[in-house]
Amino acid sequence: MAEAPRPTASHRAEYYALRSVIGTLHALPWNAACVFGAKLCTLGYKPLGIRRHVVESQIAAAFPELSGDEVQALARRSYAHLGRSSIETALLPSIGQKGVLEMVESAEGFELVEDAMSRGNGAVLVTGHLGNWELAGAYVAARGVPMDVIVRTQANPLFDAYINETRGSLGMTVVRDKDAARRTPRSLREGRAVAFVSDQGVMGLASTFVTFFGRPAKTPRGAAVFAMKYDTPTLFVTALRQPSGRYRVSVERVPIIRTGDREADVDAIVANYTAILERWVRSAPEQYFWHHRRWRRQPDGTPPELRDPSL
């Protein structure tokens, strides 16, 4: 096993600054802390302009019908949502699983999770960087579902250890992406759910190009590969913030059709869960993580008008 990288002085400064902020927020009422997070992150949009071009250009590409002012307004709301959901995630351990359950005002389709788990061969859960994806995982675990979450390693090893400890305290078993190919088969055989985030690259697992908002986007296919190979129920799970400030968790089946062409069938599953994600993003675009360059990697020969809009 590779030795974890040693934290640098910069890593330590970032980490202790973060822990100081979180410690301060613990002293505030929940809503006040979340409002603070929203306002703080909005400063990243203006006046600081952190990744502003990336966010605005991707929103404009996804929603060409929006005017420039509407793109900016949506971008500002996306920063506010990111700030609020980040603070929520940081504070989740303070409320525990009971508090996680109370943050969800409705859970539509959760019987699909219960039915899948009753079959004994686990479940593949797919989500995207929409709403509060960390809360979605914590909620499933709080409902008593044994679950692994496939995660990317953060650049700051101190922050990486902290966030994974947070996930563990909420009932999730953390599996690093580089270990997913080895660990997932065993977890499914043990009847566990395995959760994948579907809209960023995963180390150690292959990807394919599927359409996302009309543009080819490199998309992990690991969830689809395991679903096909182990005949595992595959579900898309999302948690969207409602006007009340609480969340609606939604669960739906990802269509799986077997034609005999395994590779084509896997790619079709990837396209299906990407289409589900796009539909949910269209319903709440301000809750999507536009800060990530979704179209950064594209196939050779992509027409200029469909290339990464943030370039």
pLDDT, one tens digit per residue, over 34-88 is 999 999 999 999 999 999 999 999 999 999 999 999 999 999 999 999 999 999 9
- Determine, yes or no, domain membership for 274: yes
Residue type, 81: H
- Determine, yes or no, domain membership for 3: no
- Determine, yes or no, domain membership for 282: yes
Query: What does the pLDDT read at residue 202?
Result: 64
For the chain, residues with pLDDT lower than 50 are 1-2
Distances (CA, A) of 45 to 56, 77, 116, 130, 287: 10, 10, 42, 19, 15
Beta carbons of 290 and 58 less than 8 angstroms apart: yes
CA 174 remoteness from chain centre = 14
Q: What share of the chain is helix, strand, coil (3-state, %, to 5)?
A: 50, 15, 30
Residue-number span of the structural domain to which 57 is assigned: 13-299+302-306
Query: What does the pLDDT read at residue 1?
Result: 44
- Determine, yes or no, domain membership for 2: no
CA 89 remoteness from chain centre = 12
- Determine, yes or no, domain membership for 1: no
Write out the DSSP string of 254-296: PP----S-HHHHHHHHHHHHHHHHHHHHHHSGGGB-TTS-TTS
Domain count, the chain: 1
- Determine, yes or no, domain membership for 7: no
pTM for this entry: 0.94
Using left for φ > 0, alpha for ψ between -120 and 50, and beta otherwise, residue 131 falls in left
- Determine, yes or no, domain membership for 178: yes
- Determine, yes or no, domain membership for 54: yes
Query: What does the pLDDT read at residue 20?
Result: 87
**Helix (H) or strand (E) run with residue 61 in it:** helix 52-62
